[in-house]
Structure 1
Amino acid sequence: MATLHLVPVVDEGLGNSTYLLDVGEDRALVVDPERDLRQVRAEARQLGLTIAYAAETHLHADFISGVRELQHTEGATVLAPEAGPREFAHTVINDGDTLDLGDFTLQALATPGHSPEHLCYLLLDHGRIVGVFTGGSLMVGTAGRTDLVSPDMTVPLARAQYHSLHRLMELPDDTPVWPTHGAGSFCSAAAGGERTTTIGRERATNPLLQVVGEDAFVEALLGSLGTFPDYFLRLGEVNRRGPVVLGTTPSLPALSADRVKELQEQGAQIVDARQPADFAAGHIPGSLSIALRPAFATWLGWLADPNRPIIIVRNPDQDPEDIVWASAKVGFDALTGELDGGIPAWTRSSAAVTASLIDAERLVSGAEASAAVIDIRQASEYATGHVAEARSIELGGLTEHLSELPTGPLVVMCGHSERAMSAASILERSGRTDVSVLDGGPADWMRAAGRSLENGR
């Protein structure tokens, strides 16, 4: 019996897990790798493993796949479902197919739903079930959304998801379940931070497995879905054709302040990756605030225009590699460059503008107390607790709702301040000069106001 050495590599920002498995003879299998492979490669090196196989459960919509990177740089064999044919070399896997990896065998289970071609992979040791990689099918407390292909496929795929989950329920209760999507992923609607589970636990506790019948399942699944970034609608096709192989870390050329100004006048967009307080203290007019943190890739993909050049502004202590790889994960392969010397270089020749960052006490009792409050968190977050007077407009849809905003002073809030500052930068670009950002979130307001939050939408 082989010893299981399975390493989950978690992307907290995108909410996904890539799995690195030692399959014997110093070789490894990687399941659902993202394009930023730095941690996966580091884990493999630490274990003395060569990545021999790269398997995909489905065509990913939420990130650029890393299988081609592994194929070209490591010589890995790509394993992928036959449906939704990829336009690059890969080994086709169909329902019931098995592949001898060495110490383990991989067996494919057709589980359409999250996508039409979705496969789960049973991991076997001499016929004994070791666990199952479930991708975007069965997840902790939920199942993968089915509305990423096309509107006319949403319900049929939800029905397929029902049958796929019940197929997985035929496995023994003690079978470990290793999903790709999890907490923080827009492909998942479940709360909580756990990323792995078992068949028995999901059978007993997953709300989607407690409803009776296919129709009730479809209603429950579709009723749990929130909005998702619009870049999901284009990355699947990029992954099907085969992403450009980057090989090494993309460059981030240094640009003078004059050159940045020239490129901005020609249509380039400025993405300021500094934290909200730094952005508030001074930033390039018209720039978009997206603070560098785990969720940077998601909000860059959602808010930035993929058809316009991007110039980065960062602080010296922010790692440019983190910025370029986060950008590449959502399809921004080649950033135009960064402001050489940061904001100090800009202010030596041009004026910076500031933003208003206020604390909860000032929102409650200061001049901003009479301002309209906009809560730009996801609707599901808003429903769990919000300021009574706050109106819900999700950040991802803010641009489409600008004309609906009230005139006069605005206060924008989220959970901490990062997304709110992104919203404030969008409002500034639209011409608003009367916007403040709450430094904190609803809980801070509740403490300052001595009032409870409201629930519901």
Structure 2
Amino acid sequence: MFFVDTIEVTGLGNRGYLAGGERTAVAVDPPRDVDRVIAAAARRDVRISHVVETHVHNDYVTGGPELARLTGAAYLVPAAARIAVGHTPVHDGDVMVLAAEDALTLRALATPGHTPHHTSYVLEEHGAAVAVFTGGSLLIGTVGRPDLVEPRLTADLARAQHASVHRLAAELPDETEVLPTHGFGSFCASGSADGTATTIGKEKAANAAFTRDADTFVADLLAGLDDVPAYYAHMGPANAAGPAPVDLTPPAVAGADEIAERLAAGEWVVDLRNRVAFADGHVAGSLNFEAEGQLATYLAWLIPWGKPVTLLAESPAELATAQRELVRVGVDRPAAAATGDPSAWVRRGETPASFPRATFAGLAAQRRTRDLVVLDVRRSSERAAGYVEGSLHIPLHTLHRRLAEVPAGEVWVHCAGGMRAAIAASLLDAAGRAVVAVDDAFAAAEQAGLTVRGCPGSEQRR
């Protein structure tokens, strides 16, 4: 009897897997913090005999080489992938025996599209397919994006993606469980979909890769591609070179004077507390990236690569969780850290800084009586579906480079729900701007009486 355990990497919208039988198992696309995978194997009382990659990842640093080293497992990577770390190359059609006593095998299927070398792995029991690890190929309701390798290859990879998912459907029974790595909020997915589980049959019925012809599918896929996080440019090279082992030991403790010195030196000081607490009181010049939000994605996206970062957290546990999130995207060692209350992070005689929060109703009321700068920091694809009339649009991931474009005056900044607006507000506050963070769902903007343009079917009003 086989098992499949999911290793959730929720902050990045990814999953890794541990699958096997009574005594041995395979790890598929493991995250960099491999202790989680080792713990899962210990709970199952199985030995990890194989570690496999569906592709060279562009959105996170893999734990594959380190996991293979620690467990003595064979490290399997698609043969066409160019990596420097030692591995066993996998070709289309290769079969690996996972557990002879359970008649479990893993069969490789070339599924190019997300990358040119992308490979899926079919888990078979007694020769029958029971599940397929599809990596960045067939996802739940969508497919992996084809534009992360080389712009000149994007159109061809999009067409290959269509052919690959059709190959999966042609070779596998409808009841085969589909187990993707991406697609749970990851920017590696070309779209989003509801649900956490699926099968080949369900995807054939609903996924656009099956319901649209190749030309239509490719055109729609290319037209819908969204922004790519800047740190993705560093992930592929790191994985190809072979990532260093993870160091999750606590950082050096920084006092108020050191925090001030690091800020004065132009380093980033990141406050991990929730946005309500940050707005109420924080170290002037610090930036707010909530530990409970998409910390790794947005901090790695915005921070100049390699710049030292000091982390401020409410508790040691919050700090440890943030460190774990950040090593997954190559932000390895904080320069320093502090935990506790912001009153202890500012120098003697100084008081924490603060800024107000508001709702869209508050924005509407203030806008009737005075001039305000309304800043929308959502992505372009979000704004295209509707925006507040007269608002300035600067996507969050570009704001730190474009602060000079924000007109003079009090800035009311919003996103779709509040988290990104809090990051943007902290950037503006650190730059000395008067700012109000709109902590509200964008759907409330029109309800509050603001004119929303470009939203199909909406009533245009002031």
**Taking structure 1 as the reference length, what is the TM-score of the superposition?**
0.91
Give 1:150 deviation, angstroms: 1.7
* Partner Cα distance (1:295, 1:454) in 2: 28
Match of 1:60 in 2: 57
Match of 2:229 in 1: 229
Q: In 2, are the aligned partners of 1:385 and 1:442 still within 8 Å (CA)? A: no
Secondary structure of the 1:230 match is coil
Q: How does 1:225-264 map to 2 (within 5 A)?
A: 225-246=225-246, 249-264=248-263
Which sits farther off after the overlay, 250-259 or 375-384?
Answer: 375-384
Which sits farther off after the overlay, 5-14 or 112-121?
Answer: 5-14
* Partner Cα distance (2:384, 2:376) in 1: 11
Give 1:115 deviation, angstroms: 0.8
Q: In 2, are the aligned partners of 1:32 and 1:55 still within 8 Å (CA)? A: yes
Give 1:71 deviation, angstroms: 1.9
Which sits farther off after the overlay, 100-109 or 309-318?
Answer: 309-318
* Partner Cα distance (1:217, 1:181) in 2: 19
Secondary structure of the 1:321 match is helix
CA 1:351 to 1:305, structure 2 compared with 1: closer, same or farther past 3 Å? farther
Q: In 2, are the aligned partners of 1:208 and 1:220 still within 8 Å (CA)? A: no
Any idea what the Cα deviations from partners look like across 1:353-383, whole Å, max 9, x if unmatched? 2122123432221368742322222334444
Q: How does 1:356-375 map to 2 (within 5 A)?
A: 356-366=356-366, 370-375=371-376
Match of 1:105 in 2: 105
Structure 2 gaps of 5+ residues are: none
Q: In 1, are the aligned partners of 2:5 and 2:19 still within 8 Å (CA)? A: yes
Any idea what the Cα deviations from partners look like across 1:307-361, whole Å, max 9, x if unmatched? 2111011112752210111110110111111135542212342443212212343
Q: In 1, are the aligned partners of 2:51 and 2:74 still within 8 Å (CA)? A: yes
Give 1:157 deviation, angstroms: 1.5
Match of 1:19 in 2: 17
Which sits farther off after the overlay, 278-287 or 115-124?
Answer: 278-287
Structure 1 gaps of 5+ residues are: none
* Partner Cα distance (2:27, 2:435) in 1: 46
Match of 1:279 in 2: 278
Q: Partner amino acid for 1:197?
A: T
Match of 2:192 in 1: 191
Match of 1:182 in 2: 183
Q: In 2, are the aligned partners of 1:13 and 1:294 still within 8 Å (CA)? A: yes
CA 1:354 to 1:296, structure 2 compared with 1: closer, same or farther past 3 Å? same
Q: Partner amino acid for 1:176?
A: E
Give 1:160 deviation, angstroms: 1.9
Q: Partner amino acid for 1:424?
A: A
Q: How does 1:35-54 map to 2 (within 5 A)?
A: 35-54=32-51
* Partner Cα distance (1:378, 1:193) in 2: 21
Secondary structure of the 1:35 match is coil
Q: In 1, are the aligned partners of 2:175 and 2:199 still within 8 Å (CA)? A: yes
* Partner Cα distance (1:36, 1:146) in 2: 27
Q: Partner amino acid for 1:120?
A: S
Q: In 1, are the aligned partners of 2:260 and 2:346 still within 8 Å (CA)? A: no
Secondary structure of the 2:345 match is helix
Q: In 1, are the aligned partners of 2:41 and 2:47 still within 8 Å (CA)? A: yes
Match of 1:422 in 2: 423
Q: Partner amino acid for 2:26?
A: L
CA 1:453 to 1:28, structure 2 compared with 1: closer, same or farther past 3 Å? farther
Q: How does 1:200-215 map to 2 (within 5 A)?
A: 200-213=201-214, 215=215
Give 1:403 deviation, angstroms: 4.1
Match of 2:6 in 1: 8
Identity of aligned pairs, percent?
A: 37
Match of 1:220 in 2: 220
Q: Partner amino acid for 1:175?
A: T
| Residue 120 (str. 1) matches residue 120 (str. 2) | yes
**Aligned alpha-carbon RMSD (Å):** 2.4
* Partner Cα distance (2:340, 2:173) in 1: 59
Give 1:75 deviation, angstroms: 2.6
Secondary structure of the 2:423 match is helix
* Partner Cα distance (1:286, 1:83) in 2: 47
* Partner Cα distance (1:373, 1:367) in 2: 9
Q: In 2, are the aligned partners of 1:250 and 1:325 still within 8 Å (CA)? A: no
Q: In 2, are the aligned partners of 1:251 and 1:334 still within 8 Å (CA)? A: no
Any idea what the Cα deviations from partners look like across 1:176-207, whole Å, max 9, x if unmatched? 21111012110113333323322222222112
CA 1:185 to 1:45, structure 2 compared with 1: closer, same or farther past 3 Å? same
* Partner Cα distance (1:263, 1:224) in 2: 41
Secondary structure of the 1:216 match is helix
CA 1:228 to 1:257, structure 2 compared with 1: closer, same or farther past 3 Å? same
* Partner Cα distance (2:107, 2:160) in 1: 20
Secondary structure of the 1:234 match is helix
Give 1:388 deviation, angstroms: 4.6
Match of 2:79 in 1: 82
Match of 2:403 in 1: 402
Which sits farther off after the overlay, 63-72 or 136-145?
Answer: 63-72
| Residue 440 (str. 1) matches residue 437 (str. 2) | no
Secondary structure of the 1:101 match is strand
Q: In 2, are the aligned partners of 1:282 and 1:354 still within 8 Å (CA)? A: yes
CA 1:128 to 1:390, structure 2 compared with 1: closer, same or farther past 3 Å? same
* Partner Cα distance (1:254, 1:317) in 2: 11
Q: In 2, are the aligned partners of 1:7 and 1:20 still within 8 Å (CA)? A: yes
Which sits farther off after the overlay, 125-134 or 388-397?
Answer: 388-397
* Partner Cα distance (1:382, 1:22) in 2: 45
* Partner Cα distance (2:36, 2:453) in 1: 40
Which sits farther off after the overlay, 261-270 or 16-25?
Answer: 261-270
Q: In 2, are the aligned partners of 1:179 and 1:196 still within 8 Å (CA)? A: no
Q: Partner amino acid for 2:228?
A: F
Any idea what the Cα deviations from partners look like across 1:262-290, whole Å, max 9, x if unmatched? 23333321111111122112222222211
Give 1:389 deviation, angstroms: 4.8
Secondary structure of the 2:21 match is strand
* Partner Cα distance (1:384, 1:293) in 2: 27
* Partner Cα distance (2:368, 2:427) in 1: 20
Q: In 1, are the aligned partners of 2:31 and 2:328 still within 8 Å (CA)? A: yes
